[in-house]
Amino acid sequence: MEKVKIGVIGLGRLGYKHAENLAFKIPNAELTAVCAMEEDRLEQVKKDWGVPYTYKNFDDMIKNNELDAVLIASPSGLHTDQISKALAAGLHVFSEKPLGTTVEECKEAEKAVEKYQDKVFMLGFMRRYDASYKYAKEKIDSGEIGVPILFRAYSQDPERFIEGAIAYAGHSGGQFIDMSVHDIDLARWYLGAEPEEVYAIGGCYAHPEFAQYKDGDNVSALMKFKNGAMAFLFAGRTAPHGYNVETEIIGTKGILRIGSVPQKNMVEILDNSGVRKECSQDFLERFEESYLNEVNEFINCIIEKRKPGVTVYDGTKTTEIAYKCKEAFESGELTKI
């Protein structure tokens, strides 16, 4: 089988991991090109991985006739434009979230995807490709917990990464956009409905720097869905113990919990501090297999000429809802969605 030749834009922490997976862990893919502003990163992957082409300009990379697809892991504000350009160049596109930094940008991305329907487009909601989250979805769909009535999600970054979060705060769109979109996507997926009302609160409890961006270091939202179900979201920047993603779905006949203890592995440490388990320290560690699985699915969709389960419209809906959460947080009022 001929391999899908793909180019990657962005070699930050996540873009580098995607590129590494494509180079070494996805049999039906070939990392043919990389694009980034960092000259040293480009030289490294060219030398160490044998990548044939390196670029500092995205427009130059998508002119490469050898490419079949691109993976977009660039800064969020560039996603919509790069999605449109890549599709117009005849390439299949995988884009990291968010689809766009505004709802208007998301709508532009929708138009591009609709115009080039012969191409595969996929958005990076990787939690859907995590083994535990997929298993929970199967349990819900089979009726094992009855009717889902409450979705609860915690997403917390470690305090030790706070300086980077503060530096990025002016471009992130706020915590609901930057962090909660994955939880919003899961809530829609698990509850099988769209939210209609949201109330959000929070504040700058440890780091007042976020206030200038009308954001907080810890925020929460309560949503009512059109089918009567409820969702509670919490996003925090100050977890002392590590990277903590916890999810619970309460049904009329049972409860599912995923990652209720953010353990690094199955090892227990017994020492003079007592008995303890170590925690995952960042998103790459916790969702390493999910990132691999989602891009593998993208490549298989291209080869098998089918479309993935995550669509461009999922990207728009999560962005719309996240902005309504932000609006409710800023106003302190119950907000219609």
Q: What is the pLDDT of residues 178-229, one digit of tens each?
A: 999 999 999 999 999 999 999 999 999 999 999 999 999 999 999 999 999 9
**Residue 297: phi, psi to the nearest 5?**
-65, -40
Task: Report d(CA 334, CA 32) in Å as an integer.
Answer: 49
Q: What is the DSSP letter of 2?
A: P
Q: Check whether 259 has a pLDDT greater than 90.
A: yes
Provide CB contacts within 8 A for 27, sequence distance 6+.
3
Q: How far apart are CA 322 and CA 196, in angstroms?
A: 12
Encode pLDDT of 217-236 as tens digits: 999 999 999 999 999 999 99
CB atoms within 10 A of CB 2: 8
Q: Is 281 helix (H, G, I), strand (E, B) or coil?
A: coil
Q: What is the rounded average pLDDT for all residues in the chain?
A: 95
Provide the edge-to-edge strand list for the sheet that holds 4-9.
53-55, 29-35, 4-9, 69-72, 92-96, 121-124
Q: Are 68 and 92 in contact (CB under 8 A)?
A: yes
pLDDT for 1 beyond 80 = no
Number of Cβ atoms within 10 Å of the Cβ of 157 = 24
Residue 179: closest CA among 220, 229, 122: 220
**pTM higher than 0.85:** yes
Residue pLDDT, tens place only, 104-135: 999 999 999 999 999 999 999 999 999 999 99
pLDDT of residue 303 exceeding 90, the answer is yes
Distances (CA, A) of 174 to 169, 183, 329: 7, 15, 10
CA pair distance 172, 156, nearest whole angstrom: 16
Strands 69-72 and 92-96 turn out to be parallel
3-class SS of residue 313: helix
Q: Quick one: pLDDT band at residue 265, thresholds 50, 70, 90?
A: confident
- 198: three-class secondary structure by DSSP: strand
User: Which whole-number Å values give the CA distances from 187 to 38, 182, 318, in the listed order?
Assistant: 37, 9, 10
Contact 176, 329 (CB under 8 A): yes
**How far is 324 from 316, CA to CA, in rounded Å?**
12
The pLDDT > 70 percentage for the chain reads 100
Sign (positive or negative) of CA dihedral 75, 78, 84, 87 = negative
pLDDT in tens, 6-39: 999 999 999 999 999 999 999 999 999 999 999 9
Query: Looking at residue 264, what is its pLDDT?
Result: 87
Ramachandran region, residue 259 (left: φ > 0; alpha: ψ -120 to 50; beta: rest): left
DSSP class of residue 3? Answer: P
How far is 261 from 283, CA to CA, in rounded Å?
15
192 DSSP 8-state letter: T
Dist. CA 329–CA 143, nearest whole Å = 34
